[in-house]
Structure 1
Amino acid sequence: MSMLLAFAPFIVFALCDRLLGVVPALSAAALVAAVLLVRDWLTPGRTVKVLEIGTVLLFGGLAAYAVATHTEWSLLGVRLRVDAGLLLVVLATMAIGQPFTLQYAKERTPPEVWTQPGFRRVNNVITAAWAVAFALMVLADVAMVYMPALPLWVGIAVTVVAIVGAVRFTQWYPEHMRARFQGAG
């Protein structure tokens, strides 16, 4: 559940953009991400997450850039930048061998599980599933930006299916692998 809460800034951005505009929405999302970061920093048993650091930097950086350059982005243009930034954060965690889901999983499992080979493999696969979901969202954003005749519902549908698919996979896969390992051993 805490991994899903990490996406709260993206929801805040989507809601605030419609009501307040791009820069206030980016700022609100950065603030929510910063609150989550501080919560993890101050709560015993929790750690500061790479995804949350990346989210603060992403929204805060985009807001600062928009203010400094007086850039007027469309909602689709901002979504493309946000989704691409999130994809880059997730890919970077994979590239350094620390899949972003690992930090969340360690908060929910005992330390003796962390050294089991299947633990890291499960987290690599789940992080890859999220990377695929974000890549699909980026592709949908690109299609929406460069093919304006495409109905808006297409981009929304791809985003919803990608996120729901990643969430369900995240819930299903560890149990599936646990049952598989228990059946084999």
Structure 2
Amino acid sequence: MNMLLAFAPFIAFVVIERVVGVPAGLAAGAIVATVLLVRDLATPGRHVKLLEVGTVLLFGALTLYALTNDVQWSIAAVRLRVDAGLMLIVLASIALRQPFTLQYARETVDREHWDSPHFVHTNYVISAAWAVAFGILVLADIVMVYIPSLPHSTGVIATVAALYATAKFTSWYPEQQAAKRS
């Protein structure tokens, strides 16, 4: 659940972008991301996470750029930037040997399991699944940018399917691995 809360800035972005516009949506994402980061900094026992830092930087940079330049991004074009940024954050966490899900999983698993090869491997697999999901979002965004005649629902369906499947996988995979080891 805590990991899903990390996606709140992206939800705020989508909602506000549709209602008010791109710059406001980006600013909403930046504000929500900053609130989550400050919460982690101010709450004893909580730790700052790579995904949250990356999200603040992503939305902050895009907001600053949108407000200081006369950008005329379509909704699909700005979503492409946001989704590509999110995918890069996830891929960077894997490349830095700190898969982003590891930080969330450690909040719910006893410390004695943190260095277990199974625990670490499971988090690499789940983080890679999220990278694939965000890759699907990026592809859907590219299609929507370059084939604007396609119904908007095509991108929405691809996005919802990818995120839903990955959320389900995130809860199923650890249970499956634990059952294998039992």
Pairwise TM-score range, normalised by the shorter structure: over 0.9
Would you say 1:72 and 2:72 are equivalent positions? Answer: yes
Structure 2: distance between partners of 1:154 and 1:10: 19
Answering whether residue 155 of structure 2 is matched by residue 117 of structure 1, we say no
Give the structure 1 partner of residue 15 of structure 2.
15
SS in 1 for 2:119: helix
Q: CA deviation at 1:99?
A: 0.2
Partner of 2:38: 38
State whether residues 45 and 107 of structure 1, in contact with CA within 8 Å, keep that contact through their aligned partners in structure 2. Answer: no
Match of 1:45, SS state, is coil
Q: Which residue identity lines up with residue 147 of structure 2 in the other structure?
A: M
Task: Tell me what 1:6 maps to.
Answer: 6
What letter is aligned with 2:163?
I
Deviation for aligned residue 1:10? 0.7
Contact persistence 1:30–1:55 (CA under 8 A): yes
Q: Determine if contact 1:80/1:141 at 8 Å carries over to the other structure.
A: yes
Distance 2:67 2:110 in 1: 45
**What is the deviation of 1:115?**
1.5
Residue 150 (structure 2) pairs with residue 141 (structure 1): no
Aligned-partner Cα distance in 1 for 2:180–2:41: 35
Give, in whole Å, the separation in 2 of the partners of 1:147 and 1:19.
23
1:142-161 matches, cutoff 5 A: 142-161=142-161
Q: Find the aligned partners of 1:81 and 1:65 in 2 and give their Cα distance.
A: 12
Instruction: Using the aligned pairs only, state the percent identity.
Output: 57
Shift of 1:164: 0.4
2:60 corresponds to: 60
Superposed CA RMSD in Å reads 0.7
The count of aligned residue pairs is 182
- 2:81 aligned with 1:85: no
Distance in 2 (CA, whole Å) between partners of 1:180 and 1:81 is 39
Map Cα deviations across residues 95-147 of structure 1 (whole Å, 9 max, x no partner).
Answer: 11110000000111111001211000000000000000000000000001001
Q: What is the CA deviation profile of residues 145-177 of structure 1, one whole-angstrom value per residue up to 9, with x for unaligned ones?
A: 001121111100000001001100000000110
> Are 2:178 and 1:174 aligned?
no
Given the two structures, how large is their TM-score scaled by the length of structure 2? 0.98
Amino acid at match of 1:29: G
Taking the aligned partners of 2:42 and 2:124, their CA distance within structure 1 comes to: 28
Q: Taking structure 1 as the reference length, what is the TM-score of the superposition?
A: 0.97
For 1:21 and 1:141, how far apart are their aligned partners in 2? Answer: 17
Ranges in structure 2 where 5+ consecutive residues have no aligned partner? none
CA distance in 1, matches of 2:5, 2:135: 20
